Structures are given as structure tokens and as C-alpha cells.
Amino acid sequence: MTVAVTTDRPRWRVAAEQSFALAVRSVRNTARDPSAWVPPMIFPLVLAAIYGAQFSRAAELPGFPEVDSFLQFILPASILQGVSFNAGDAGTGMATDIQNGFFDRLMSSPTSRLAVFIGRLAGAIVFSAILATVLVLIFTVFGAPVQGGVVAALALVVIAAFLAVAIGGFSLAVAIRTGSSEATQAMFPLTFVIIFVSSAFFPTGLMTGWYQEVAEVNPFTLIVNPARRIALSGFDWGDFGQAMFWIAAVSFVSLGLSYRAYLTRLRRS
């Protein structure tokens, strides 16, 4: 799927059209493959049900945030887990394109090189926004609504969408460098461990030892904490700005690694 370059339109507009076309392709391919969108939806819900049942009384501990249920506390964590699944699929899709030759066909066409990179990330952004919306609705149905209302819920969706860029950048870096979907999929256990050693499932103030020290400096903690405050207390520009700042910081690193790998592959193509 490419958009031919013409001489009567600005190059940026052509590149934008090509990025959109490739993003639509990415979203369509994901929608057609249940194995790509079912796990990001089901896995966080299953874990939320287990944690909600096992740790419901943890919400009564001194120092625990005021919540009606443990499900309210782990809503941002469930969104984070789902996004990590979905964002990883961006890299898997890129690796698949490299393996089946579609990437090389794009490189031999008039398609903008930047559009190929942006299109894949844009697809992850769209699906992560949809995923976050669905999770918020499901949690609401099961008695754990976003206390901040519609504005706070929309803020969580925006945070999830851009978080897909931060996580997806690392996935793309591995995919582009290795050209292997298996190697890209192997990243998820590492991402899961990093999420687990954060405040996603438990407040850092109630942790002890090295676990607490690691969790307090974990970038995911710095993103989840303000997102959780938005979910529990309502929209706040300070919390939203903090979450977006750390997402941007992680994205700067992940996109730098992935784009450097992308340029290296282009030179070899």
C-alpha cells in the first residue's frame, strides 16, 4: 500500500498521506488478527480479576490511597499492561514486513522512508487508544469507574496512546535491527518485569528494601502515579503534564534507538 509521489503537491503532504495509508494498513492488519488484539484485552482483565480478589483487603492498609476497591487502584496498571502488549505488536508487524519482503518493496517504491516508520507507530497509537477506552468501560461496568469523569477518562486514553510510542519504540528497535518477529516477541517478558517492579500494582510507600528503591526510580512509576491520581481524583494539568513529560523522556530514548536502527537498515537496503 503506497501513495505515489507527484510533483504538484508538497512533499510533506505526500509523506503525511503515505503515513496515514500505512497506519490504516497497520490498524486493519491488527483488527484482522485476533491473536494481536485479544491478549492485550484479556490478559490485563484476567490479572485485574485475580489481583482484585486476592488483594482486596490491601486497600485498608494505612498509607494506601483512598479507593472504593482495589480494582480502581490497578486500572492504570491494566491499561499499561494492555498498551505494552499492543505496542510490542508494532515491532512484530515491522519484523514480519521485513521477513516477507514487504519492507524491501516499500524501499524500492516512491514511498517516503519516514512514512514507513511513522505509519507503524501511528497504528499502535490508534489501537492503544481503543484499548484504553474499552478497559475504562469494562472497569466501570464492574464497579471501578474513573472518579474524575469523562475528562479524566479521556486523559487516560491520551496517556495510553502516547505511551504506545514510548514502548513501541523499543519494540521497533529490536524488530528493525534483527528482522525477527520471534526476537521482538521475546521483549514482552522483559517489559512485564519492568512493569511489575513499579508502583503499577502496589504503592511504593508500602514497599521495602531494594524493591522499593528500584520501583521509585522506575519510569513506569513516574507515569502510572500521576495517571492514577487522575483516575482517582479527577483531571489535573500538573499530573497530566508529569505523565506526558516522562512518556516523552522514554520516547526520546526508544525512538532514538529505533530510528538509528532504521537508518542502519536503510543503508544496507
pLDDT at 2 over 50: no
What is the model's pLDDT at position 269?
64
Could you tell me the pTM of the whole model? Answer: 0.87
Residue 197 DSSP one-character state? T
Chain centroid to CA 206: 27
Residue 109 three-state SS: coil
Residue 122 three-state SS: helix
- The pLDDT tens digits for 138-159 are 999 988 889 878 999 999 999 9
pLDDT at 162 over 50: yes
Rounded to 5 degrees, what angle do the CA atoms 233, 238, 240 make? 75
- The pLDDT tens digits for 41-76 are 888 899 888 888 888 788 888 888 888 888 889 999
Residue 4 three-state SS: coil
pLDDT at 3 over 60: no
